[in-house]
Structure 1
């Protein structure tokens, strides 16, 4: 029976992610090492016998930040359509390279947390700044960011996106035989950023940010979300899954 998955991929390394600086709206390129690592991730995890099977991906959501867009390019999903940020007048992809016919959607719902006054600062700098002002310790999951987004702001847009994924792609496929036509394309891929994807995973399983769910997603990392018991009402974080391999009879 089919159990859809949502793959979450954090963009590759940038100079600011390397230095621990909070990067929300600032546009930064991937480092040379960051690009190399994403290419390696694509080769290791994307393919017909890999974790992410392009032909089974129904939809791809990507943050509007350039570092996320570049990460999707380097994962080499083999998308049939021209990526939304590419020049539509350019020749279409080579037919032999097409592996995925999922629509790619650039959406503000999965942009990074708006850090407001804390943009470009490290956690240490933020805490020192707050101490100088006589403010208490800082926890983004509880306090949000002055001049930026609150936890409630994040919950609102992520819950909307998760609802969209379940209603449009997962609800119609979950629990059906793998031979069923609707089960052939049922996974989604979300390419975005560290804080917002950690928040996405918490909201996926219905957790409040203050419930103490400690999650880490390294730059260039990939996580998997799914469901228990083939039930749309039992969302889960998939700690580890088997790769899909078609065995010769």
Structure 2
């Protein structure tokens, strides 16, 4: 993705806490609600995003992302199927520590995901999101999931999707991407 002298920003919000995110379980297709604490924290996003104007607001179709968008004050966020979390296949609901008992050193970034998505599939999907965002003349707000947003960031920065491993993303946090002298950059992370 290239830019001239753009000054627009891409705002990323990871959904609020769920029972599985709290316990470190891989959650992609399982549609879990926010915990009470997740709702409380997600509601603080409303104040943190107040005063910002967005030309496009997108959300993953998963309940946890859509509810976070609602609590943040964006009940009409447009659902984009490409924003779903990385499909963990057979590893759905399992922690990394549990996976590593049978596959030492496993990470979603560098190892196969039986029955799930590959890094190349994720890159293709999130490149579509980035192209859509690039077509908007103004700020865009996206509500999504940890690995998918980290991968989206890597692709925004023109890196291999696996470089998303370097961007830890906590629940109910805000990050902003943008431009500096025509280069894609991270302005704020995991706020």
Give the TM-score normalised by structure 1: 0.70
Are 2:6 and 1:6 aligned?
no
Question: Per the alignment, in what secondary structure is the counterpart of residue 16 of structure 1?
Answer: helix
Name 2:70's counterpart in structure 1.
Answer: 73
User: 5 Å matches for 1:166-245?
Assistant: 166=134, 168-170=135-137, 186-211=138-163, 214-229=166-181, 231=182, 234-239=183-188
Pairwise CA distance, 1:40: 1.5
User: 5 Å matches for 1:1-40?
Assistant: 3-40=7-44
Name 1:128's counterpart in structure 2.
Answer: 101
- Structure 2: unaligned runs, 5 residues or longer: none
Let me know the Cα RMSD of the aligned residues. Answer: 1.7
User: Following TM superposition, where does structure 1 have runs of at least 4 consecutive aligned residues deviating by more than 4 angstroms?
Assistant: 210-213
Number of residues of Structure 1 aligned to a counterpart in Structure 2: 185
Name 1:246's counterpart in structure 2.
Answer: none
Q: Which of the pair has more CA radius of gyration?
A: 1
Q: CA offsets per residue over residues 69-128 of structure 1, 9 Å max, x none?
A: 000000014x6xxx3xxxxxxxxxxxxxxxxxxxx3211111000000000000000111
CA contact (8 A) 1:142 1:209 kept: no
CA contact (8 A) 1:143 1:151 kept: no
- Structure 1: unaligned runs, 5 residues or longer: 84-103, 132-136, 171-185, 241-249
Q: Measure the CA separation in 1 of the matches of 2:140 and 2:39.
A: 22
Question: Per the alignment, in what secondary structure is the counterpart of residue 57 of structure 1?
Answer: coil
CA contact (8 A) 2:154 2:164 kept: no
Give the TM-score normalised by structure 2: 0.91
Question: Per the alignment, in what secondary structure is the counterpart of residue 216 of structure 1?
Answer: coil
